[in-house]
Amino acid sequence: MRKIKITLLLLILILGNFVDKSAALFAQAYEGYTLFAPNNSKYTYLTNMSNSAVHTWTHTKSGGYSVYMNQDGSILRSAVSSSSSFNGGGATGIVQKINWAGTVLWEYTYSTTSYRTHHDICPMPNGNVLLIAWESKTAAQCVQAGLNHSGSLWPDFIVEVQPVGTTGGLIVWEWHFWNHLIQDYNSSKDNYGVVANHPELLNINIGSSSSGDWMHCNAISYNSTRDEIVICSHNLDELYVIDHSTTTAQAATHTGGNRGKGGDFLYRWGKASNYGVTSSPQVFDVVHCSTWIPIGYSGAGDILSFNNRESSSTSMIVQITPPYDSLGNYVLVSGSAYGPTSAIWSYTTSGFYSNHLGGCQRLPNGNTLIAESTSGYMFEVNSAGTVQWSYNRGGEIVRVLRYAVSYLSVPGETSTVPTEITLSQNYPNPFNPTTNIKYSVPKATMVTIKIYDMLGKEVMTLVNNENRKAGNYETVWNGINSNGNAVSSGTYFCRLETSDAVKVEKLMLLK
């Protein structure tokens, strides 16, 4: 008996030591490659953790507002077109896919005298790309829509493009702010109603005292789990969530889609006075980079935003948890502002300030990567706000993204294509509360990864039937279930399913 007690004591000490060390490990910078592009430049850089360039892309067209890495080593970037009547800040007009060697694989132009893309793009799991664009509305059209002065406007809209060939694109879905307006200025014009009774619509008479770029939307992010899009507006100090499950026809109306609201706002946050609620204080004072936190990450399903706080000269990163009911619908008490009343997490410090632009990304280990864009200072903080990594490059850098070493095969630095489907033992294991899960596929396939408890009940979906090319991958589970609640200590199972195989590994959560 004494022997058993000693053995158990040693086991507890070993496990306790393991958990402590793993906690310390996850308080450090997240290992990976950092992707960024100086704004309005012809260069894109991929650097290692020592801030040395692993690769540089040299382009023939300027860009740099947003760039994303694909798992095959190619990048997707916005670029600037020429000869357009839309010349507002952040104007682009082109989206490019460029391989590791610098060859342009696809270049799609979405720019005419009637519309032009600008600011951010968003790659989707199905290979399509979401674009933000301006469209032109004449002064007569605006007055008829209920605008309180005579002036032409460039309201924003969203298109989803399916790449075709090397220069073509098929618009498979679109959504327009213009189809979801309200105004209480002129009862003889379109869109007349009580603004406070329609938070799902946008008052045409906010932020539109002049002509041209009315909203200045600057970021777009897709939530594949909920099939929803978040987009944020510099000029209106708000973020908006819309339903992507609609058809294009439904997106122009007030019915249809998974939530039954058509293209109306499902949720909005940042400045409640925009929809007639003056009792709630304004939070955003210029906002950038509103983005969903992915499933499996700390704060999964929350929205992260860069609050420039232009008037106070001190910026802040804000993380909010949108309020849902048991069916997943957004909750709003009539006459009140959309919740939450405050951020679940935020970061600011003396001297941290970018009066415009700004980037933020939640990393798999719970840290947050930030771009103080106007100074070109990139840094990573943990949940306590302690800086874990930094790179003071200078210049103007709009966004910065970190990719896991296992995300892509960088020539000369990472492994080659795997020969079989594998699901590695998670690490650390035991864990609390976050663990990494690596897997490999030898060819293109659809992948689903789910967590189950000991009774076989599904706990969380980490990867939801997403296309994966041949390569090595990594995802993260942070010990929460699909409702966003922390799960209890115990044994769980990670199940990877492809069209060819099923793999299962045991995980132990020890609190």
For 76-90, what is each residue's pLDDT tens digit?
999 999 877 888 889
Identify the pLDDT of residue 339.
Answer: 95
The pLDDT of residue 131 = 98
Residue 401 belongs to some domain of the structure: yes
- Same domain membership, residue 475 and residue 383: no
Residue 407 pLDDT > 70, yes or no?
Answer: yes
- Separation of alpha carbons 216 and 207, rounded Å: 10
Whole-angstrom distance, CA of residue 212 vs CA of residue 214: 6
Pair (198, 314) in one structural domain: yes
When pLDDT is cut at 50, 70 and 90, the band that residue 199 belongs to is very high
Count of other CB atoms within 10 angstroms of residue 157: 19
Neighbours of 315 (CB within 10 A): 27
Question: What's the gap between Cα 425 and its chain centre?
Answer: 28
Write down which residue in 366, 387, 407 finishes a domain: 407
CATH number of the structural domain spanning residue 388: 2.130.10.10
Within-domain flag for 313: yes
Q: Of 380, 407, 434, at which residue does a domain stop?
A: 407
CA pair distance 26, 428, nearest whole angstrom: 10
Count how many domains the chain has.
2
398, part of any domain: yes
- pLDDT value at residue 428: 85
Same domain for 208 and 112?
yes
Residue 5 in any domain: the answer is no
Q: Is 265 helix (H, G, I), strand (E, B) or coil?
A: coil
Same domain, yes or no, for 454 and 357? no
* The pLDDT of residue 377 is above 90: yes
Q: What's the pLDDT score for residue 482? A: 87
Are residues 253 and 145 located together in one domain of the fold? yes
The mean pLDDT of the chain is: 90
**Pair (137, 158) in one structural domain:** yes
Tell whether 387 and 496 lie within a shared domain: no
Peptide bond into 340 cis (omega under 30): yes
* CATH (domain of 429): 2.60.40.4070
Pairing of strands 387-392, 377-381: antiparallel
Residue 220 corresponds to which tokens in the numbers above?
Answer: 């777009």
How high is the pLDDT of residue 414? Answer: 43
Cis peptide bond upstream of 323, omega within 30? no
Residue 11 lies in a domain: no
Q: 199 and 237 in one domain?
A: yes
What is the model's pTM? 0.78
Is a pLDDT exceeding 50 seen at residue 220? Answer: yes
Strand residue runs (E) in 27-103: 32-38, 41-47, 53-69, 75-80, 93-98
Under the banding of pLDDT at 50, 70 and 90, the label for residue 410 is low
Q: Are 429 and 477 in contact (CB under 8 A)?
A: no
The mean per-residue pLDDT over the stretch 123-144 comes to 96
Q: pLDDT band at residue 478, thresholds of 50, 70 and 90?
A: confident
Residues 282, 179: one domain? Answer: yes
Query: In this structure, are 100 and 175 located in the same domain?
Result: yes
The pLDDT of residue 416 is 67
Domain of 473 in residue numbering reads as 415-509
Both 311 and 428 in one domain: the answer is no
Q: Is residue 239 part of a domain?
A: yes
Residues 422 and 397 in one domain: no
CA 210 to the chain's CA centroid: 30
